[in-house]
Chains A and B, each alone.
Chain A
Amino acid sequence: MISLLGLDDAYHAPWFIALIALFALSLVLCSLRRLALFVKEKKTIVLPEEDRLLKMDLHSYIPEKDFSETLGLLARRYRLALGDGRGAVLERGRLSRYGVFIIHASIIIILAGGLMGLLFGYRGFVTLKVGETKDRLTLRGKSPAEVPLGFALTCKDFKVNFYPTGEPKDFVSSVEIVENGKAVLGKEIRVNEPLSYKGIRFYQSHYGSAPVFFFNVGGEKVALMEREAFRKNSLLLMVARYESRVHDFGPGVLVAYLDGGEPKATWFLKNVDRLREQDLEGVRVSLNDIQEQLYTGLEASRDPGVFVVWAGFVFILFGLYVNFFVRHRRIYLLKVPGGLLVAGTALRNRGDLDKEFKNLLEEIHGHTP
């Protein structure tokens, strides 16, 4: 039941993705409606009559001042939105009106970037012993699968540095990218310093040590880890299990192989001569050595949507700033008998409009051409 509803992996479950899609759709519709509203509102800026202006919080008569001179003064700080024979409307910070739109559009962009990652990206890992080269990564998921990288990755060295207190300070994998048999790039991968090559990123994720078994299979030297398979002519063998002590005979390893299509297994014991070398399917197999070897675990991922997500992040922060901290205000300038009437309103983020309006009036009064 739980797995049917996808509760074990809720964030990838169809119902969860459907919910997000529904959310995105409503965002799109809301944003469009709002945008239409603002555009319409911009077209309908009017200069109200005197009695309406007098009802505004901030208004003042300025006797015997020239209209165009005052307008010129105001236009230094405000943008002219409307000008006719009766007077003018000036404003500042109109961008603030679009803050909401920018924020909501950014969320859509971020979700789109996330979707691109889900559709065209993947996550997996590569485990490399020192000296080992691999050209494919193992995908994460319910059924592990392998994906070719298109190039090969060699681990040249792996180091762990510790603080004097014994805590890990640094994990460093020195790797080399090999393409068409040529080393094209060498880099040290650390935590917080991934390697990026052809859209695939490799992150230092973990490390460990594991026994490596050195076999001689029909004259060919191979190093295998647990669960690794090797084929020589008709013989397919796999290291099934490692025991550090098989009864009193020391370390041993259980090797599985196919005998005429039938799976069989046999123990190789390092310290017992008779069991160190055996014939399997007519191929001479001998266990030469067992060594503990460090391996590095690299997280590997491809996400073409990541830059879209970054762009969304930048836009949303800009939008939040614009929406909450850019002040949208309008100044009305009306010609009245014997002078001018100035009025001001804050349409969004009032801030310190009172002070600003006072300064403005002082400037107009004090201005002598």
Chain B
Amino acid sequence: MIKDLGKYVIMFFVLVLVQVLILNNIQFSGLVNPYIYILFILLLPFTIPGYLLLGICFVLGISIDIFGNTPGIHAGATVLLGFLRPWIAQLVSSRELIEKGNTPSMTQLGFASFIKYTVISVLIHHLFLFFAEAFSFGDFFETLLRWILSSIFSIIIILGSQFIVFKN
């Protein structure tokens, strides 16, 4: 864990900057905003203590909020994801794998489980995000469409990035 600290710190900054400087500027008809910074939460080790997990999630979310002028929206979504992550991890992986202290990467989890893990996490995170952003159920179907389209793009980008990283 300690030896990976540097790696995680770098990953944090890279993901936040990629998100706020590049992906936040992607504009397909206003319906698609991929949010891939949650990859950081996905890749934290299984054995991370709960307070650290929630703390990191909050800090990550509030960082994105500060850049995007969306106080609280991303923080709320990431904290929710952090809270549900142990449950999602149990759902997609075996007990031994979690207890051995592995990281939930594509190589550790296997391709199918990692996809399931990513899809569930992204859907939960984005659901909270888009409905908190609209803060009403007024344009319910439009928000739903934004949720689904953006989730698809986020999932593709996250899985693609993992493919590139772990192929080498």
**B is a partner of A:** no
